[in-house]
Amino acid sequence: MSGSYGSQFTLIVVLFILLIIVGATYAYGW
């Protein structure tokens, strides 16, 4: 299980989660 695809996929997931968190904070009107 060696590959840049795994790390790339993890990076995309982390960015997606960050986007959701930012969207949630904006929705709550922080």
Distance between CA atoms of 17 and 29, rounded to whole angstroms? 18
Distance between CA atoms of 17 and 13, rounded to whole angstroms? 6
Q: 5-28 pLDDT, tens per residue?
A: 778 899 999 999 999 999 999 988
Q: How far is CA 30 from CA 1, 10, 12, in A?
A: 41, 28, 25
pTM recorded for the entire structure: 0.61
The pLDDT, as a whole number, for residue 6 is 74
CA angle 5, 7, 12 (to 5 degrees): 90
Q: 1-11 pLDDT, tens per residue?
A: 556 677 889 99
Q: Give me the half-sphere count of Cα atoms (radius 13 Å) on the Cβ side of residue 30.
A: 6
